[in-house]
Amino acid sequence: MDLNFHSVTLDKDACKGCITCVSRCPTKAIRVRGGKAKILSELCIDCGECIRVCPHHAKKAVFDPFDQIFQYPYKIALPAPAMYGQFNNLDDVDYVLTALKMAGFDAVFEVSQAAELVSEYTRKLLAEGKLKKPVISSACPVVERLIRVRFPDLCENVLPVHSPMEVAARIAREQARKDAGRPDEEIGVFFISPCPAKVTDARRPISCEKSAVNGVLSIGDVYPRIVGLMNKIEEPEPLSKSGIIGVSWAGSGGESAALFNEKYLAADGIENVITVLEEVEGEKLNDLEFIELNACTGGCVGGVLTVENPYVARTRIQMLRKYLPVSKSHMTDQEAPHMDWEVYLEAAPVMKLSDNLTQAMEMMAKIDQLTETLPGLDCGACGAPTCRALAEDIVRGYAREGECVFLLREQLERLANSFTKQQ
Amino acid sequence: MEAIKVHYDVPGDDFTRAGEASGMLKRYLKKIGFAPDVIRKVSIAMYEAEINMVIHAHGGEIDGEITPEKISVTLRDQGPGIPDVDLAMQEGYSTAPDNVRSLGFGAGMGLPNIKKYTDEMKIETVLGKGTTVYFSVNAQ
């Protein structure tokens, strides 16, 4: 497993070395070095914000090419609920699912179906009262990674249940083995994702040793392949097994609403997520039972791999779910073993300066000192997002003093003045 | 090594900024890498004291001293002073005005919480002159 894997790459030719991504990165994980944006791997949480904001489209999301599905004799599509919000005038999810089969998949398993099971299981766990409150949703891989690096003491609050994607993959795989009689190596399970974070989550999962997902496709990539096919369908196959609860997971608040408990909070957008986590850490939200956090604005419909504006997508889903039953899928003994985490979330306090407290304090004192000498404009011209970040980079040994253009200008002025005086 | 000193001014005229200094110290301690439990105690105690300072004393100044062994915080204000410290230390006793109670403050747990979460706590108060609250949390 490549620990340095992230679901974003840089098109070096397109990158102008501007600091848009540097200053917008929520974990300050990007620096401009040698004129190009560079990700500090251990700090990156795969939120995709840099992809969203890059004005030169130099940041590219990583996902698997569609044709990869043909490597497997038995191909299963796992469409994310956010996918249903991408189509104009869609009134029946079965059109999407039928078109996926026409495009080459042998079977489909809706992630919204698994989401209904996750909701049911979460309700059960909350009722048992054994979880540490407030319970934080584990569905968004970015939030999990953010908590690991920036809020290590909240790891215990995270719901120890697989994401709907993982649950869907496990159940779909088992069904293919048992019902379709396929050996495991013939089965290819492909998640159709709204965001690149799920690519990282499938390749480098943190709640299990190995994900049951074989590949992650992009909604934006699959969309043009099926939209034409959808128009050709006369009578769609009755495939959908999810109701209002499952489909509503596509937007922020959907997961919470499914808990039938008003003591919840749902926040979306990475900056808002950070603010809420700070409040949880400060024990100001202890009265709440559940906290749903989505890194993207609007929830999963706001992912960078979608084609439609998140607000439009959410409205479409509202209309789509109108005549659906509340829920179509319920947990049986068959699904139960697929729900729990196999590996618990462990803190990765990569932001701390040193394992040795005295040494860390010495470094901190140096950072304070250096920060004082910098202009405090946070202009980013040195390649670091803030003056303080540059000071920290210098103390950690990642950057040199003298990278600050303002200090350089002062030095040059002094030099010039001393020359004039001499003459 | 020498202790790291930090200083925060707490404005008394902007209630919406109350609690900012505690957040800043918390992030600072986190960066150094103190144990989460230590940071939690310091930030809760300081938050309570900082809010008190804004509600009752029109702001003030906070000085922190950080060593690997302990974190000490001194909060000075020039407010009205506390007439009866023993009474103020009782859980549930509060003189907070109604306008902040509506925001959830004024439960009378401020000073008792500082005592509960710290290893040492001192209050010096002079009526009409001001109050100094000192507390420390052992880091090891």
pLDDT tens-digit series, residues A65-118:
999 999 999 999 999 999 999 999 899 999 999 999 999 999 999 999 999 999
pLDDT at A1: 44
Q: Do A283 and B34 touch (CB under 8 A)?
A: no
Average pLDDT over residues A353-382: 93
Average pLDDT over residues A321-333: 88
Q: What is the pLDDT of residues A4-55, one digit of tens each?
A: 789 999 999 999 999 999 999 999 999 999 999 999 999 999 999 999 999 9
Q: What is the pLDDT of residues A372-420, one digit of tens each?
A: 999 999 999 999 999 999 999 999 999 988 899 999 999 899 999 998 8
B133 Cβ under 8 Å from any chain A Cβ:
no
Whether pLDDT at A353 is above 70 = yes
pLDDT at A3: 62
Phi, psi of B101 (to 5 degrees): -65, -35
Q: Do B1 and A360 touch (CB under 8 A)?
A: no
Whether pLDDT at A196 is above 80 = yes
Using alpha carbons, list the distances in angstroms from residue B134 to B54, B118, B124. Answer: 16, 10, 8
For residue A2, name the pLDDT band (cuts at 50, 70, 90): low
For residue B75, name the pLDDT band (cuts at 50, 70, 90): very high
Q: What is the pLDDT of residues A203-231, one digit of tens each?
A: 999 999 999 999 999 999 999 999 999 99
Amino acid at A123: R
Using alpha carbons, list the distances in angstroms from residue A185 to A210, A271, A334. Answer: 14, 41, 22
pLDDT at A355: 87
Give me chain A's average pLDDT, please: 94
| DSSP-based three-state secondary structure for A36 | strand
Which residue of B32, B105, B117 to mutate against A (max A Cβ within 10 Å)?
Answer: B32
**Burial group, residue A90, by CB count within 10 angstroms (0-12, 13-18, 19+):** middle
**Burial group, residue A235, by CB count within 10 angstroms (0-12, 13-18, 19+):** exposed
Q: Give contacts of B28 with chain A, Cβ < 8 Å.
A: 364
Which ipTM score applies to this complex?
A: 0.75
Q: Give contacts of B48 with chain A, Cβ < 8 Å.
A: none
Q: Report the residue of chain A nearest B26, measured CA to CA.
A: A282
CA separation for the pair A351, A43 (Å, rounded): 8
Buried b (16+ CB within 10 A) or exposed e, A38-54: ebeeebbbbbbbbbbeb
CA separation for the pair B133, B52 (Å, rounded): 10
Q: Please state at what angle helix A164-178 crosses helix A111-128, rounded to 10 degrees.
A: 110
Per-window interface: A 327-386 vs B, CB < 8 A: 349, 351-355, 357-358, 360-362, 364-365, 368
- Contact, A281 vs A330, CB < 8 A? no
Extents of the domains making up chain B: 4-138
| DSSP-based three-state secondary structure for B76 | strand
pLDDT at B98: 83
How much is the pTM? 0.87
Q: What is the pLDDT of residues A254-289, one digit of tens each?
A: 999 999 999 999 999 999 999 999 999 888 899 999
Ordered by where they begin, the domains of chain A are: 1-62 (3.30.70.20), 66-338 (no CATH), 354-423 (1.10.15.40)
Whether pLDDT at A56 is above 80 = yes
Q: Do B33 and A353 touch (CB under 8 A)?
A: yes
Domain B4-138 has CATH 3.50.50.60: no
CA separation for the pair A279, A98 (Å, rounded): 45
Partner residue opposite A358 with nearest CB, options B26, B40, B68: B68
pLDDT at B26: 92
B83 Cβ under 8 Å from any chain A Cβ:
no
Average pLDDT over residues A192-196: 97
Average pLDDT over residues B85-109: 86
B41 Cβ under 8 Å from any chain A Cβ:
no
- Nearest Cα to A300, choosing from A262, A339, A253? A253
- Nearest Cα to A27, choosing from A145, A140, A137? A145
Residues 6 or more apart in contact with residue A410 via CB below 8 angstroms: none
Q: Give contacts of B44 with chain A, Cβ < 8 Å.
A: 282-283
Residue A37 parent element (H or E):
strand A36-39
Q: Give contacts of B117 with chain A, Cβ < 8 Å.
A: none
B105 Cβ under 8 Å from any chain A Cβ:
no
Per-window interface: A 257-316 vs B, CB < 8 A: 278, 282-283
Q: Give contacts of B67 with chain A, Cβ < 8 Å.
A: 361
Give me chain B's average pLDDT, please: 92
- Contact, A81 vs A108, CB < 8 A? no
